[in-house]
Structure 1
Amino acid sequence: MARPLRFRRSPERWTASRVHDQLFTDLDDNLGATAVDPTFRPAGEWETRRFEMDNDDVALFIWDDDAAYWMGNTETPSALWRTDKYDWGEVPYQVARWAQRELLADLHEESPWLEPYPHVSWFFLPVFMSKDGRHTTREFFRDHAAGFPDAGRDEGLGFYEEFLSTGVLDEYRDEMSGKLGTSPQFDLVRMSSAMAEFTAAKLLTDAGYQVTPEIEVTTGHSLDFRAAKGNHQPLVEVTRPLPPTQRAADTAVAAVRETAETKTSGQLSEHGGGAVLFVDCSSFHDDQWRAVRGEQPEVRHRPAVVYRVRPNGHAEGYTKGAVPLDLDGAIEWV
């Protein structure tokens, strides 16, 4: 399975004739390719090429006298096999900006319903345009409201657009967008679980915390977030139960208990305590959440926050144990 889009950097000298002979010819022989003028021009003294394959793959190449950069959701020509890979923030700004403009234009032409959501489009561009995940990730947002049940596409997209527009996760874009995955097989459960981390980050941000994802702990694991407010920096781990119609548990209450038990008997148990468990029930329908809200089941870990968020931004939930976070401004307690 291919990863989210990244750049390959070649430190060698490139010319237009070499690009044709070693890149275009390779692509054309294997896939059928057309070399076209890019839609945009980068700032600076860069040469650029765009390759469009017969199977709808696309590749970009940009070079100057010092280095060259390749990006594509297609096979890599053999001349670039030994090159190193770089994330978007690790290449010159002009290179990243040019590639971004080219691919965003492609994305919005192919999926015009994403154009009103520029921050969602930009943040998830590495997966929306990836080799293996470009269809499934767009389907998740288009047809499943980014994991919200009983909601329309615009409601789900609007929720994450509002949050991502704050920029609090921009620094972690490569890491966080990749959580959505680049699998050619559609997996609603896995992608909904990935979005639970974005929902948790929004709740923490709304409550005034600065979030840092993927915090390594002494057990060799990583927990989802550090939530910092002054010198107070608790760790947070997020889990998202499947609604009972999608799992063996036949009730919403059982689903919450079983999912939380899996998390607490594994990663949190090895961590040795101290982290706050966030149990995100946002995949539950209204009646399922009402059952959980009414019974408020234990989740075998303390401290814990069990909550459900709706795409209009309203969140309600309950706590177990002494939660070292002030979430009063973000969650309505029930």
Structure 2
Amino acid sequence: MAGPTRFRRDTRQWTSEQVERDLYAPLNSRFGAKQRAPAHDPPPGYEACQLRMDNGDLALFAWGENAFWLGNTETPEALWRTDKYTFSEVPYPIARWAQRELLTELQVSDPWLAEYAYVSWYFLPVLFSKDGRETTRAFFRDHASGFPDATRAEGLAFYEQLLSATDLDDHRYTMASKLGTSEAVDLVRMRATMAEFNAAKLLTDAGYDYTPEVALDSGHALDFRVDEPNTLVEVTRPEPPARRRAGTPAAALRETVGGKTNDQLSAHADAVVFVDCSSFRDDEWNPVAAERPAAGHEPAVVYRMRPDGTISGYTVGDVPLALESTLEI
């Protein structure tokens, strides 16, 4: 499975003739291709082009002091030995130009998504990935970004606001890539990914600074480390009981958290588990909110977010984070 789209940088000097011979010609032979001028002017000192394949693949190439390739198609052999870089690891003018190209492309292909500027920008690495471009767009288009009983617009508006308010830009590839670059729509995994964004919102709204995806000496990686108080957080998102073997909402909670206690939480018993029940409909969440069942690990925070920004939930055990102001407990 291919990963999120990244640049390849080549330190050799390129000419228009080389682009024609070493990039366009093999792609045209392989897929059928067209070489076009970019939609936006490249940075000063660079020439650039688009390469559009008949199968819908797209590649951008800019050459000057260095050459930069960005594409969701087969990489031509001339660039096989080049290293890969994220948007933040290449010169800013190159990254800005390439992202403008992709966002313009999105405005044409999926205007309903392009109107949400933060969502579009943040998820560009997967929206234009080789394997995940169709599935990630389908997730936002057809599955309300993971919310049940919500419209596409409501789900997108929620994450538009979340991404504009949380400080996740520096962790863009780590977080966005979890949505997946798979050819198949995996709703369980995709909803679990959005649970991590929901957790970031919960921490941000409570006023905490945090770092996502923390590698620990135990060999495990937990979803967040809160700076003060020094607290590890692991996030899980149970599937509603109607979609899994567990017959009740409480059983769904225990079964999902149980998978974590056998792994990350067994090595870090003091970590707080965030149990995100945002996939639960009202009739599935109301019994949980009323009964407040144990989650199978303490300390824990059990909550559900709605697209209107409402967050309801409760805590289990001695949670070191002050979340009362953000949860409707």
Question: Shorter-chain TM-score: what band?
Answer: over 0.9
Give the structure 1 partner of residue 222 of structure 2: 223
Match of 1:52 in 2: 52
1:246 aligned residue: 243
Alpha-carbon distance between aligned partners in 2 of 1:233 and 1:42, rounded to the nearest angstrom: 45
SS of the equivalent of 2:165 reads coil
Is residue 103 of structure 1 aligned with residue 102 of structure 2? yes
Equivalent residue number for residue 303 of structure 2: 307
Q: Secondary structure at the match of 1:17?
A: helix
Partner SS state of residue 61, structure 2: strand
Paired residues of 1:279 and 1:304 also in contact (CA < 8 A): yes
CA-atom RMSD, angstroms?
1.0
Report Cα offsets for 1:220-276 as digits up to 9, x if no partner: 1111011224xx2211100000011211112211111111111112211023x1211
The amino acid of 2:180's aligned partner reads G
Instruction: Determine if contact 1:58/1:73 at 8 Å carries over to the other structure.
Output: yes
Distance (Å, rounded) in 1 between the aligned partners of 2:245 and 2:166: 39
Structure 1: how far apart are the matches of 2:43 and 2:76? 26
Q: Distance in 1 between matches of 2:48 and 2:114?
A: 25
User: Does structure 1 conserve the Cα–Cα contact (< 8 Å) formed by 2:37 and 2:49?
Assistant: yes
Aligned partner letter, 2:118: H
Question: Quick one: which amino acid aligns to residue 42 of structure 1?
Answer: P
Aligned residue number for residue 27 of structure 2? 27
Equivalent residue number for residue 37 of structure 1: 37
Distance 1:241 1:306 in 2: 11
Q: Counterpart of 1:332 in 2: which secondary structure?
A: coil
Question: Which residue does 1:279 correspond to in 2?
Answer: 275
1-structure distance, mates of 2:39, 2:265: 49
Determine the C-alpha separation between the residues in 2 that align with 1:192 and 1:9.
34
Alignment of 1:158-169 (within 5 A): 158-166=157-165, 168-169=167-168
Determine the C-alpha separation between the residues in 2 that align with 1:270 and 1:234.
Answer: 14
Q: Is the 8 A contact 2:237 2:256 kept in 1?
A: yes
- Structure 2 residue aligned with 1:324: 320
Distance 2:224 2:139 in 1: 24
**Aligned pair in 2 of structure 1 residues 196, 78: CA closer, same or farther (>3 Å)?**
same
* 1:71 counterpart SS class: strand
Give CA-to-partner distance per residue, 1:75-127, whole Å, 9 cap, x none.
Answer: 00010011111111100111111110111111121111012210000000111
| Contact kept in structure 1, 2:249 and 2:285, CA below 8 Å | yes
| Alignment-mate amino acid for residue 38 of structure 1 | P
Structure 2 counterpart SS, 1:70: strand
What SS does the corresponding residue of 2:143 show, helix, strand or coil? helix
Mapped contact 1:42–1:97 kept (Cα < 8 A): no
Query: Matches of 1:136 and 1:18 in 2, distance apart?
Result: 34
Displacement of 1:167 in angstroms is 5.1
Specify the code of the residue in structure 1 equivalent to 2:28.
D
- The one-letter amino acid of 1:259's match is T
* Residue number in structure 2 paired with 1:204: 203
Q: Which amino acid letter does the alignment assign opposite residue 11 of structure 2?
A: P
Q: What is the alpha-carbon distance in structure 1 between the residues aligned to residue 218 and residue 160 of structure 2?
A: 35
Tell whether 2:253 aligns with 1:256.
yes
Tell me, in whole angstroms, the C-alpha distance in 2 between the residues paired with 1:126 and 1:183.
13
Q: Is the 8 A contact 2:42 2:62 kept in 1?
A: no
TM-score by length of 1: 0.97
Corresponding position of 2:147: 148
Q: TM-score, normalised by structure 2?
A: 0.98
The residue number in structure 2 matching 1:268 is 265
The answer for the alignment partner of 1:298 in structure 2 is 294
| Conservation of the 8 A alpha-carbon contact between 1:243 and 1:252 | yes
- Unpaired runs of 5+ in structure 1? none
1:146-189 CA distance string (max 9 Å, x none): 00001111111111100111251011111110010010101111
For 1:277, what is the secondary structure of its paired residue?
Answer: strand
- 2:179 maps to 1:180: yes
Looking at structure 2, the residues matched to 73 and 63 of structure 1 have their Cα atoms a distance apart, in angstroms, of 18
Task: Find the aligned partners of 1:256 and 1:121 in 2 and give their Cα distance.
Answer: 32
The Cα of 1:296 is off from its aligned counterpart by: 1.4
Tell me which amino acid in the other structure corresponds to 1:59. A
Aligned residues of 2:206 and 2:326 also touching (Cα < 8 A): yes
Q: Name the residue aligned to 1:237.
A: 234
Equivalent-residue separation in structure 2 for 1:300 and 1:254 (angstroms): 10
* SS of alignment partner, residue 286 of structure 2: helix
Q: Contact 1:8/1:83 (CA < 8 Å) preserved in 2? A: yes
Distance 1:154 1:329 in 2: 27
| Residue segments in structure 2 that go unaligned for 5+ positions in a row | none
Contact kept, 8 Å, 2:166 with 2:200, in 1: the verdict is no
Superposed counterparts of 1:46-85, under 5 Å = 46-64=46-64, 66-85=65-84
**How far is the alpha carbon of 1:40 from its aligned partner?**
0.2
Q: What count of residue pairs does the alignment treat as equivalent?
A: 329
